[in-house]
Chain A
Amino acid sequence: MAGRVVLHGMWASPYSKRVELALKVKGIEYEYVEEDLKNKSEELLRYNPVHKKVPVLVHDGKPIAESLVIIEYIDETWKEGPRLLPQDPYERAKVRFWAGFLQQQLFEAIFAVIKTDGEAQERAGKEVHEKLKVLEEGIKGSYSGGSPFINGNSMGLLDTVVCSILGAHKIQEEVLGVKFLDPEKYPTVTSWVTALAELPLAKETMPPPEKVAGLLQFLRSKALESAAA
Protein backbone atom coordinates (compact mmCIF):
# COMPACT_ATOMS: atom_id res chain seq x y z
CA MET A 1 0.00 0.00 0.00
CA ALA A 2 1.67 3.15 -1.22
CA GLY A 3 0.75 6.75 -0.61
CA ARG A 4 2.01 9.56 1.55
CA VAL A 5 1.16 9.24 5.22
CA VAL A 6 1.35 12.21 7.57
CA LEU A 7 0.46 12.17 11.26
CA HIS A 8 -0.39 15.44 12.97
CA GLY A 9 0.18 14.75 16.65
CA MET A 10 1.40 16.08 19.94
CA TRP A 11 4.00 14.48 22.20
CA ALA A 12 1.84 14.53 25.34
CA SER A 13 -1.38 13.28 23.79
CA PRO A 14 -2.24 9.65 24.57
CA TYR A 15 -4.57 9.72 21.55
CA SER A 16 -1.68 10.71 19.33
CA LYS A 17 0.71 8.18 20.88
CA ARG A 18 -1.56 5.22 20.31
CA VAL A 19 -1.76 6.02 16.60
CA GLU A 20 2.04 6.24 16.47
CA LEU A 21 2.28 2.81 18.08
CA ALA A 22 -0.18 1.41 15.54
CA LEU A 23 1.74 2.88 12.57
CA LYS A 24 5.00 1.43 13.88
CA VAL A 25 3.50 -2.02 14.49
CA LYS A 26 2.37 -2.10 10.86
CA GLY A 27 5.75 -0.85 9.69
CA ILE A 28 4.16 2.10 7.87
CA GLU A 29 6.47 4.93 6.86
CA TYR A 30 5.04 8.26 7.89
CA GLU A 31 5.92 11.90 8.35
CA TYR A 32 5.23 13.36 11.74
CA VAL A 33 4.08 16.92 12.37
CA GLU A 34 4.32 18.02 16.01
CA GLU A 35 1.46 20.45 16.60
CA ASP A 36 1.65 23.35 19.01
CA LEU A 37 -1.83 23.23 20.49
CA LYS A 38 -1.67 26.96 21.27
CA ASN A 39 -0.81 27.70 17.64
CA LYS A 40 -2.36 24.99 15.52
CA SER A 41 -1.17 24.62 11.95
CA GLU A 42 -3.37 25.74 9.11
CA GLU A 43 -3.38 22.15 7.84
CA LEU A 44 -4.69 20.77 11.13
CA LEU A 45 -7.54 23.28 11.13
CA ARG A 46 -8.33 22.40 7.54
CA TYR A 47 -8.10 18.62 8.10
CA ASN A 48 -10.14 18.55 11.31
CA PRO A 49 -12.48 21.54 11.08
CA VAL A 50 -15.04 19.99 13.45
CA HIS A 51 -12.78 19.39 16.46
CA LYS A 52 -9.49 21.09 15.49
CA LYS A 53 -7.70 18.38 17.50
CA VAL A 54 -4.88 15.89 17.16
CA PRO A 55 -4.31 13.23 16.09
CA VAL A 56 -5.17 13.50 12.43
CA LEU A 57 -3.80 10.99 9.96
CA VAL A 58 -3.55 12.22 6.39
CA HIS A 59 -3.28 9.48 3.78
CA ASP A 60 -2.74 10.72 0.23
CA GLY A 61 -4.23 14.05 1.24
CA LYS A 62 -7.35 12.51 2.84
CA PRO A 63 -7.73 13.25 6.56
CA ILE A 64 -8.95 10.83 9.22
CA ALA A 65 -9.64 12.02 12.78
CA GLU A 66 -10.35 10.27 16.13
CA SER A 67 -7.62 7.93 17.34
CA LEU A 68 -9.63 4.69 17.42
CA VAL A 69 -11.21 5.44 14.04
CA ILE A 70 -7.72 6.05 12.67
CA ILE A 71 -6.41 2.75 14.03
CA GLU A 72 -9.32 0.82 12.49
CA TYR A 73 -8.62 2.64 9.20
CA ILE A 74 -4.96 1.65 9.38
CA ASP A 75 -5.90 -1.98 9.98
CA GLU A 76 -8.37 -2.04 7.08
CA THR A 77 -6.04 -0.27 4.66
CA TRP A 78 -2.70 -1.95 5.31
CA LYS A 79 -3.50 -5.62 5.14
CA GLU A 80 0.15 -6.75 5.15
CA GLY A 81 1.75 -6.80 8.56
CA PRO A 82 0.31 -7.77 11.92
CA ARG A 83 -3.42 -7.32 12.62
CA LEU A 84 -4.42 -4.52 14.96
CA LEU A 85 -7.85 -6.01 15.59
CA PRO A 86 -8.62 -9.73 15.84
CA GLN A 87 -10.22 -11.53 12.92
CA ASP A 88 -13.19 -12.96 14.82
CA PRO A 89 -16.19 -10.54 15.02
CA TYR A 90 -16.91 -11.41 18.67
CA GLU A 91 -13.29 -10.76 19.68
CA ARG A 92 -13.42 -7.51 17.71
CA ALA A 93 -16.56 -6.49 19.60
CA LYS A 94 -14.75 -7.15 22.90
CA VAL A 95 -11.78 -5.02 21.78
CA ARG A 96 -14.11 -2.15 20.81
CA PHE A 97 -16.00 -2.45 24.09
CA TRP A 98 -12.89 -2.36 26.28
CA ALA A 99 -11.23 0.38 24.23
CA GLY A 100 -14.35 2.48 24.80
CA PHE A 101 -14.34 1.63 28.51
CA LEU A 102 -10.69 2.53 28.92
CA GLN A 103 -11.15 5.81 27.11
CA GLN A 104 -14.51 7.00 28.46
CA GLN A 105 -14.40 5.57 31.96
CA LEU A 106 -10.88 4.90 33.19
CA PHE A 107 -9.10 7.76 31.46
CA GLU A 108 -11.71 10.28 32.60
CA ALA A 109 -11.41 9.03 36.18
CA ILE A 110 -7.60 9.35 36.14
CA PHE A 111 -7.93 12.83 34.68
CA ALA A 112 -10.26 13.77 37.54
CA VAL A 113 -7.60 12.69 40.07
CA ILE A 114 -5.07 14.92 38.29
CA LYS A 115 -7.35 17.95 38.34
CA THR A 116 -8.64 17.84 41.91
CA ASP A 117 -7.54 17.72 45.51
CA GLY A 118 -9.02 17.04 48.94
CA GLU A 119 -12.33 15.23 49.09
CA ALA A 120 -12.97 15.57 45.37
CA GLN A 121 -9.66 13.87 44.62
CA GLU A 122 -10.44 11.09 47.09
CA ARG A 123 -13.75 10.45 45.34
CA ALA A 124 -12.03 10.50 41.95
CA GLY A 125 -9.43 8.06 43.26
CA LYS A 126 -12.18 5.67 44.38
CA GLU A 127 -13.65 5.89 40.86
CA VAL A 128 -10.31 4.89 39.34
CA HIS A 129 -10.16 1.83 41.58
CA GLU A 130 -13.72 0.88 40.71
CA LYS A 131 -12.90 1.08 37.01
CA LEU A 132 -9.69 -0.91 37.45
CA LYS A 133 -11.65 -3.56 39.29
CA VAL A 134 -14.12 -3.83 36.41
CA LEU A 135 -11.25 -3.99 33.93
CA GLU A 136 -9.50 -6.70 35.94
CA GLU A 137 -12.67 -8.81 36.05
CA GLY A 138 -13.38 -8.18 32.41
CA ILE A 139 -10.06 -9.10 30.86
CA LYS A 140 -9.00 -11.83 33.27
CA GLY A 141 -10.14 -14.53 30.89
CA SER A 142 -8.57 -12.91 27.83
CA TYR A 143 -5.07 -12.07 29.00
CA SER A 144 -2.99 -15.19 29.38
CA GLY A 145 0.23 -13.46 30.41
CA GLY A 146 2.27 -15.56 28.01
CA SER A 147 2.94 -12.53 25.85
CA PRO A 148 2.62 -8.81 26.54
CA PHE A 149 -0.24 -8.60 24.06
CA ILE A 150 -3.88 -9.29 24.72
CA ASN A 151 -4.86 -10.54 21.27
CA GLY A 152 -1.98 -12.58 19.96
CA ASN A 153 1.61 -12.16 18.95
CA SER A 154 1.88 -8.46 18.40
CA MET A 155 0.61 -5.15 19.68
CA GLY A 156 -3.01 -4.51 18.79
CA LEU A 157 -5.50 -1.68 19.18
CA LEU A 158 -6.36 -2.53 22.78
CA ASP A 159 -2.68 -2.79 23.74
CA THR A 160 -2.04 0.68 22.27
CA VAL A 161 -4.93 2.17 24.25
CA VAL A 162 -3.77 0.60 27.53
CA CYS A 163 -0.19 1.63 26.87
CA SER A 164 -1.19 5.21 26.14
CA ILE A 165 -3.41 5.54 29.23
CA LEU A 166 -1.68 3.41 31.87
CA GLY A 167 1.85 3.11 30.51
CA ALA A 168 2.99 6.11 32.55
CA HIS A 169 1.17 5.01 35.72
CA LYS A 170 4.33 5.02 37.86
CA ILE A 171 4.94 8.70 37.09
CA GLN A 172 1.26 9.53 37.57
CA GLU A 173 1.33 7.75 40.93
CA GLU A 174 4.54 9.53 41.98
CA VAL A 175 3.35 13.02 41.04
CA LEU A 176 -0.12 12.56 42.50
CA GLY A 177 0.94 10.61 45.57
CA VAL A 178 -1.56 7.83 44.89
CA LYS A 179 -1.38 4.17 44.00
CA PHE A 180 -3.39 2.96 41.02
CA LEU A 181 -1.94 -0.31 39.80
CA ASP A 182 -1.81 -2.50 42.87
CA PRO A 183 -0.50 -5.88 41.66
CA GLU A 184 -2.39 -7.65 44.44
CA LYS A 185 -5.74 -6.10 43.61
CA TYR A 186 -5.28 -6.03 39.83
CA PRO A 187 -2.75 -8.75 38.96
CA THR A 188 -3.83 -9.19 35.33
CA VAL A 189 -4.00 -5.50 34.46
CA THR A 190 -0.72 -4.77 36.26
CA SER A 191 1.22 -7.55 34.51
CA TRP A 192 -0.26 -6.52 31.13
CA VAL A 193 0.66 -2.84 31.56
CA THR A 194 4.12 -3.65 32.92
CA ALA A 195 4.89 -6.05 30.04
CA LEU A 196 3.79 -3.46 27.47
CA ALA A 197 5.75 -0.61 29.08
CA GLU A 198 8.93 -2.75 28.97
CA LEU A 199 8.80 -3.22 25.20
CA PRO A 200 11.41 -1.33 23.18
CA LEU A 201 8.59 -0.07 20.93
CA ALA A 202 6.81 1.46 23.92
CA LYS A 203 10.00 2.92 25.39
CA GLU A 204 10.97 4.60 22.12
CA THR A 205 7.49 5.92 21.36
CA MET A 206 6.08 7.03 24.70
CA PRO A 207 7.27 10.38 26.10
CA PRO A 208 10.15 10.35 28.61
CA PRO A 209 9.11 10.20 32.30
CA GLU A 210 10.56 13.62 33.24
CA LYS A 211 8.53 15.31 30.51
CA VAL A 212 5.37 13.48 31.62
CA ALA A 213 5.99 14.49 35.24
CA GLY A 214 6.42 18.12 34.24
CA LEU A 215 3.24 18.08 32.20
CA LEU A 216 1.20 16.44 34.98
CA GLN A 217 2.37 19.03 37.48
CA PHE A 218 1.53 21.81 35.05
CA LEU A 219 -1.95 20.43 34.27
CA ARG A 220 -2.66 19.92 37.96
CA SER A 221 -1.60 23.38 39.09
CA LYS A 222 -3.54 25.01 36.25
CA ALA A 223 -6.69 23.02 37.11
CA LEU A 224 -6.45 23.74 40.83
CA GLU A 225 -5.84 27.44 40.17
CA SER A 226 -8.91 27.80 37.98
CA ALA A 227 -11.00 25.78 40.45
CA ALA A 228 -9.99 28.16 43.25
CA ALA A 229 -10.70 31.26 41.13
Chain B
Amino acid sequence: MDGVKLHGTWASPYSIRVKWAMKLKGIPFQYIEEDLFNKSALLLQHNPAHKKIPVLVHGLRPVCESMVIVEYLEEIWPQYPLLPIYPYERSVARFWVKLIEDKSPNVWMVYRTVGEEQEKAMRDSLEMLSILEEHGPNKGKKFFGGDNINIVDIAFGGVAHWMGVVEEVSGREMFDAEKFPRLHAWMGNIKSLQLIAENLPDQGKLCQYLACQREKLVSSSSQN
Protein backbone atom coordinates (compact mmCIF):
# COMPACT_ATOMS: atom_id res chain seq x y z
CA MET B 1 0.00 0.00 0.00
CA ASP B 2 1.43 3.35 -1.06
CA GLY B 3 2.34 5.92 1.61
CA VAL B 4 -0.05 8.72 2.49
CA LYS B 5 0.98 12.31 3.14
CA LEU B 6 -1.24 15.17 4.24
CA HIS B 7 -0.21 18.77 3.56
CA GLY B 8 -2.18 20.94 5.97
CA THR B 9 -2.07 23.72 8.51
CA TRP B 10 -2.89 23.59 12.21
CA ALA B 11 -5.23 26.58 11.93
CA SER B 12 -7.42 25.27 9.11
CA PRO B 13 -10.82 23.62 9.70
CA TYR B 14 -10.51 22.06 6.24
CA SER B 15 -7.23 20.42 7.18
CA ILE B 16 -8.68 19.06 10.39
CA ARG B 17 -11.57 17.33 8.63
CA VAL B 18 -9.14 15.19 6.68
CA LYS B 19 -7.09 14.47 9.81
CA TRP B 20 -10.21 13.30 11.64
CA ALA B 21 -11.28 11.07 8.76
CA MET B 22 -7.84 9.46 8.55
CA LYS B 23 -7.59 8.89 12.28
CA LEU B 24 -11.10 7.43 12.46
CA LYS B 25 -10.20 5.02 9.71
CA GLY B 26 -6.82 4.24 11.25
CA ILE B 27 -4.91 5.25 8.12
CA PRO B 28 -1.21 5.75 8.77
CA PHE B 29 -0.01 9.04 7.32
CA GLN B 30 2.76 11.58 7.37
CA TYR B 31 1.63 15.10 8.22
CA ILE B 32 3.36 18.10 6.63
CA GLU B 33 2.66 21.45 8.26
CA GLU B 34 2.61 24.13 5.55
CA ASP B 35 3.50 27.77 6.09
CA LEU B 36 0.85 29.61 4.07
CA PHE B 37 3.19 32.57 3.57
CA ASN B 38 5.90 30.30 2.27
CA LYS B 39 4.21 27.37 0.58
CA SER B 40 6.33 24.35 -0.16
CA ALA B 41 7.28 23.53 -3.73
CA LEU B 42 5.52 20.19 -3.30
CA LEU B 43 2.24 21.87 -2.37
CA LEU B 44 2.37 24.17 -5.37
CA GLN B 45 3.15 21.21 -7.59
CA HIS B 46 0.32 19.07 -6.20
CA ASN B 47 -2.36 21.76 -6.19
CA PRO B 48 -1.54 24.14 -9.02
CA ALA B 49 -5.20 25.04 -9.49
CA HIS B 50 -5.79 26.51 -6.03
CA LYS B 51 -2.37 26.38 -4.28
CA LYS B 52 -4.31 25.54 -1.11
CA ILE B 53 -4.28 23.05 1.69
CA PRO B 54 -5.31 20.42 2.49
CA VAL B 55 -3.75 18.20 -0.15
CA LEU B 56 -3.59 14.46 0.27
CA VAL B 57 -0.82 12.68 -1.60
CA HIS B 58 -1.38 8.95 -1.92
CA GLY B 59 1.75 7.45 -3.44
CA LEU B 60 2.33 10.00 -6.18
CA ARG B 61 -1.30 11.00 -6.63
CA PRO B 62 -2.52 14.30 -5.19
CA VAL B 63 -6.14 14.79 -4.15
CA CYS B 64 -7.38 18.30 -3.34
CA GLU B 65 -10.40 19.85 -1.59
CA SER B 66 -11.17 18.52 1.88
CA MET B 67 -14.50 16.84 1.16
CA VAL B 68 -13.26 15.37 -2.15
CA ILE B 69 -10.38 13.91 -0.10
CA VAL B 70 -12.79 12.47 2.49
CA GLU B 71 -14.83 10.76 -0.26
CA TYR B 72 -11.58 9.39 -1.72
CA LEU B 73 -10.51 8.04 1.68
CA GLU B 74 -13.94 6.45 2.05
CA GLU B 75 -13.55 4.58 -1.23
CA ILE B 76 -10.06 3.26 -0.59
CA TRP B 77 -10.34 2.59 3.16
CA PRO B 78 -13.86 1.33 3.87
CA GLN B 79 -13.30 0.69 7.60
CA TYR B 80 -15.20 3.08 9.87
CA PRO B 81 -17.59 4.02 7.05
CA LEU B 82 -18.34 7.74 6.78
CA LEU B 83 -21.13 7.41 4.23
CA PRO B 84 -24.29 5.28 4.51
CA ILE B 85 -24.56 2.12 2.43
CA TYR B 86 -27.64 2.89 0.36
CA PRO B 87 -27.73 5.46 -2.44
CA TYR B 88 -30.67 7.47 -1.08
CA GLU B 89 -29.16 7.93 2.37
CA ARG B 90 -25.82 8.73 0.72
CA SER B 91 -27.50 11.44 -1.33
CA VAL B 92 -28.97 12.94 1.86
CA ALA B 93 -25.53 13.01 3.51
CA ARG B 94 -23.98 14.59 0.41
CA PHE B 95 -26.75 17.21 0.28
CA TRP B 96 -25.84 18.34 3.80
CA VAL B 97 -22.12 18.32 3.08
CA LYS B 98 -22.77 20.61 0.09
CA LEU B 99 -24.92 22.96 2.16
CA ILE B 100 -22.17 23.21 4.79
CA GLU B 101 -19.55 23.81 2.09
CA ASP B 102 -21.63 26.54 0.44
CA LYS B 103 -22.59 28.39 3.61
CA SER B 104 -19.68 27.98 6.02
CA PRO B 105 -17.43 30.60 4.34
CA ASN B 106 -19.86 33.16 5.79
CA VAL B 107 -18.51 32.24 9.24
CA TRP B 108 -14.98 33.25 8.22
CA MET B 109 -16.30 36.50 6.79
CA VAL B 110 -17.65 37.42 10.25
CA TYR B 111 -14.12 37.84 11.60
CA ARG B 112 -12.63 39.05 8.33
CA THR B 113 -14.99 42.02 7.83
CA VAL B 114 -16.71 44.90 9.55
CA GLY B 115 -19.81 47.02 9.02
CA GLU B 116 -22.39 46.02 6.43
CA GLU B 117 -20.28 43.15 5.10
CA GLN B 118 -20.04 41.67 8.58
CA GLU B 119 -23.78 42.09 9.14
CA LYS B 120 -24.51 40.13 5.98
CA ALA B 121 -22.02 37.43 6.98
CA MET B 122 -23.75 37.19 10.40
CA ARG B 123 -27.19 36.86 8.80
CA ASP B 124 -25.99 34.15 6.43
CA SER B 125 -24.16 32.28 9.21
CA LEU B 126 -27.25 32.34 11.43
CA GLU B 127 -29.33 31.12 8.50
CA MET B 128 -27.02 28.13 8.10
CA LEU B 129 -27.32 27.34 11.83
CA SER B 130 -31.13 27.64 11.72
CA ILE B 131 -31.34 25.28 8.76
CA LEU B 132 -29.11 22.69 10.44
CA GLU B 133 -30.98 23.06 13.73
CA GLU B 134 -34.35 22.48 12.11
CA HIS B 135 -33.65 20.18 9.16
CA GLY B 136 -30.26 18.56 9.79
CA PRO B 137 -30.32 14.75 9.36
CA ASN B 138 -30.95 12.28 12.17
CA LYS B 139 -32.76 14.70 14.44
CA GLY B 140 -33.07 13.21 17.91
CA LYS B 141 -29.87 11.21 17.53
CA LYS B 142 -26.44 12.04 18.90
CA PHE B 143 -24.86 12.88 15.57
CA PHE B 144 -25.83 13.85 12.03
CA GLY B 145 -24.70 10.35 11.16
CA GLY B 146 -27.02 8.80 13.76
CA ASP B 147 -25.35 6.85 16.57
CA ASN B 148 -21.92 7.29 15.01
CA ILE B 149 -20.31 10.25 13.32
CA ASN B 150 -20.29 10.40 9.56
CA ILE B 151 -19.22 12.68 6.74
CA VAL B 152 -21.73 15.38 7.72
CA ASP B 153 -20.41 15.51 11.29
CA ILE B 154 -16.88 15.74 9.94
CA ALA B 155 -17.83 18.55 7.55
CA PHE B 156 -19.56 20.61 10.23
CA GLY B 157 -17.34 19.71 13.18
CA GLY B 158 -14.47 21.91 12.11
CA VAL B 159 -16.79 24.79 11.24
CA ALA B 160 -18.55 24.61 14.61
CA HIS B 161 -15.32 24.53 16.61
CA TRP B 162 -13.86 27.46 14.68
CA MET B 163 -17.12 29.36 15.16
CA GLY B 164 -16.43 29.69 18.90
CA VAL B 165 -13.09 31.32 18.16
CA VAL B 166 -14.59 33.57 15.47
CA GLU B 167 -17.13 34.76 18.04
CA GLU B 168 -14.41 35.65 20.51
CA VAL B 169 -12.24 37.43 17.96
CA SER B 170 -15.07 39.37 16.30
CA GLY B 171 -17.13 40.02 19.42
CA ARG B 172 -20.26 38.74 17.63
CA GLU B 173 -22.35 35.93 19.06
CA MET B 174 -23.60 33.34 16.60
CA PHE B 175 -23.92 29.99 18.31
CA ASP B 176 -26.54 30.91 20.94
CA ALA B 177 -27.40 27.86 23.09
CA GLU B 178 -31.00 28.96 23.50
CA LYS B 179 -31.59 29.49 19.80
CA PHE B 180 -29.75 26.32 18.76
CA PRO B 181 -30.27 23.69 21.49
CA ARG B 182 -29.95 20.77 19.12
CA LEU B 183 -26.67 21.98 17.66
CA HIS B 184 -25.31 22.68 21.12
CA ALA B 185 -26.11 19.15 22.25
CA TRP B 186 -24.49 17.88 19.04
CA MET B 187 -21.35 19.93 19.73
CA GLY B 188 -21.12 18.41 23.20
CA ASN B 189 -21.42 14.93 21.71
CA ILE B 190 -18.75 15.62 19.12
CA LYS B 191 -16.28 16.98 21.65
CA SER B 192 -16.88 14.04 23.98
CA LEU B 193 -15.28 11.78 21.38
CA GLN B 194 -11.69 11.28 22.44
CA LEU B 195 -10.37 11.21 18.90
CA ILE B 196 -11.94 14.60 18.13
CA ALA B 197 -11.04 16.19 21.46
CA GLU B 198 -7.41 15.11 21.06
CA ASN B 199 -7.26 16.54 17.55
CA LEU B 200 -8.40 20.10 17.96
CA PRO B 201 -6.10 23.12 17.70
CA ASP B 202 -5.17 24.95 20.88
CA GLN B 203 -8.02 27.43 21.48
CA GLY B 204 -5.77 30.23 22.76
CA LYS B 205 -3.32 29.87 19.91
CA LEU B 206 -6.14 29.86 17.34
CA CYS B 207 -7.71 32.93 18.90
CA GLN B 208 -4.42 34.79 18.68
CA TYR B 209 -3.93 33.70 15.09
CA LEU B 210 -7.40 34.78 13.93
CA ALA B 211 -7.19 38.04 15.92
CA CYS B 212 -3.95 38.84 14.14
CA GLN B 213 -5.51 38.09 10.75
CA ARG B 214 -8.52 40.25 11.59
CA GLU B 215 -6.36 43.18 12.55
CA LYS B 216 -4.45 43.03 9.27
CA LEU B 217 -7.60 42.70 7.16
CA VAL B 218 -9.64 45.32 8.95
CA SER B 219 -6.85 47.91 9.03
CA SER B 220 -6.00 47.36 5.35
CA SER B 221 -9.64 47.70 4.33
CA SER B 222 -10.04 50.94 6.28
CA GLN B 223 -7.03 52.35 4.47
CA ASN B 224 -8.67 51.79 1.05
Contact = CB atoms under 8 A, between A and B. Distances in A.
A and B bound? yes
Interface of A: 49-50, 59, 62, 64-66, 68-70, 72-73, 76-77, 89-90, 92-93, 96-97, 100-101, 134, 137-138
Main secondary structure of the interface of A (DSSP, over half): helix
Contact of A101 (B49, B87, B95, B99): B49
A70 B75 contact: no
A73 B90 contact: yes
Given A64-B91, A89-B76, 9 more contacts: A50-B131, A64-B88, A66-B95, A72-B90, A76-B87, A90-B72, A93-B68, A97-B63, A97-B64
Interface of B: 48-49, 58, 61, 63-65, 68-69, 71-72, 75-76, 87-88, 90-92, 94-95, 98-99, 131, 135
Contacts of B94: 66, 69, 72
A93 B63 contact: yes
B88 A97 contact: no
22 contacts: A50-B99, A50-B131, A50-B135, A64-B91, A64-B92, A66-B94, A66-B95, A69-B98, A70-B91, A89-B76, A90-B72, A92-B71, A93-B63, A93-B69, A96-B71, A97-B49, A97-B64, A97-B65, A100-B68, A134-B48, A137-B48, A137-B49
A89 B98 contact: no
A93 B65 CA distance: 9
Given A69-B98, A97-B64, A97-B65, A62 B72 contact: no
